[in-house]
Amino acid sequence: MTEQRPGGGSDGSVAVVTGAGSGIGAATVRRLAADGWRVVAVDVADTVGAVAAGHPGVAACVADVTDPDGNAAAVAMAHDLWGRLDALVCNAGVSGQGHLASSPVADLDRMWAVNVRGVVLGIQAAVPALRASRGAISVTCSVSGLFADPGMWAYNTSKGAAVNLVRAAAFELGPEGIRVNGVCPGPIGGTGMTTPIAERDPALHEAMRSHLPLQRWGRPEEVAAVHAFLVSADASFVTGVLLPVDGGVTAGTGMFVPRGFGGPPA
């Protein structure tokens, strides 16, 4: 018999991961699969099929998180394949840049649809199954939801909403035995949001690296490990937490760069 541990165990537990076609989402799918989870990997792009390939316990679901039917389909797939759902990782997200005074409000609408509405719809679709398993939810927020960035007002606004949504959901769902936490990544390389920075503006990429106390960009796998912890039974008394995974950038005021500026990455 396969052991199943309510509240987010590993062996036999089932998760839905959104934004799973690349970057942090794909790394989270791989990490959970390696830990013995069965996973429905969700993405609007069909690249999610390649992420699922070679993992017999991973199923691909091409769906849009801004669509209630897409979220329902992902949860239904988990139930149809494995009869339960123990965790939801809301990772899908989009970003963009522009000045507040001149950017079209459509930029905010697009980010709000994915970064906030998509999380709400995912939670609503998953809650009935998570009540039964006393499961867990982990949301990819951002340090940009905790503080502001120049030229990223729409992203800051949407991720700030996601941060407080995590807190509100933890209060609302805690009495039902469902834990809700958020992960706030800093500069993470190898994602759809950050790879263009390295390609388009190497000087900015290096400047961001130099502001990190650890003096290097993070890896998707390092964020995935925190998601895996937060949905696991090891975090059974952790809820309403926003955990930065940022190389230490939020430890400072932002006025000064760490000693070692200009030196090689650690």
- The residue annotated as part of the active site, out of 155, 179, 228, 230, is 155
What mean pLDDT, rounded, does the chain reach?
Answer: 91
pLDDT of residue 58: 98
User: Does residue 118 surpass a pLDDT of 90?
Assistant: yes
User: Does residue 97 surpass a pLDDT of 70?
Assistant: yes
pLDDT of residue 74: 98
User: Looking at this protein, which amino acid is placed at residue 190?
Assistant: G
Average pLDDT over residues 247-263: 77
pLDDT tens digits for range 237-251: 999 999 999 998 999
What the chain holds in terms of domains, given with CATH numbers, is 14-248 (3.40.50.720)
User: Does residue 261 surpass a pLDDT of 70?
Assistant: no
pLDDT of residue 192: 66
pLDDT of residue 22: 95
Of 8 and 224, which is predicted with more confidence?
224
pLDDT tens digits for range 166-192: 999 999 999 999 999 999 999 998 776
pLDDT of residue 148: 94
pLDDT of residue 1: 26
65-69, 137-141, 142-146, 208-212: segment of lowest average pLDDT: 208-212
pLDDT tens digits for range 48-80: 999 999 899 999 999 999 999 999 999 999 999
Burial per residue of 23-62, b for 16 or more beta-carbon CB atoms within 10 angstroms, e otherwise: bbbbbbbbbbbebebbbbbbbbeeebeebbeebebbbbbb
Report the candidate in 166, 149, 144, 118 with the shortest Cα–Cα distance to residue 244. 144
pLDDT tens digits for range 193-230: 666 776 777 877 787 888 888 888 899 999 999 999 99
Catalytic residue list contains 215? no
pLDDT of residue 2: 31
Give the Å distances, CA to CA, from 233 to 119, 141, 196: 22, 21, 36
Q: Three-class SS of residue 259?
A: coil
**Residue-by-residue DSSP string for 171-234:** HHHGGGT-EEEEEEE-SBSSSTTTHHHHHH-HHHHHHHHHTSTT-S-B-HHHHHHHHHHHTSGG
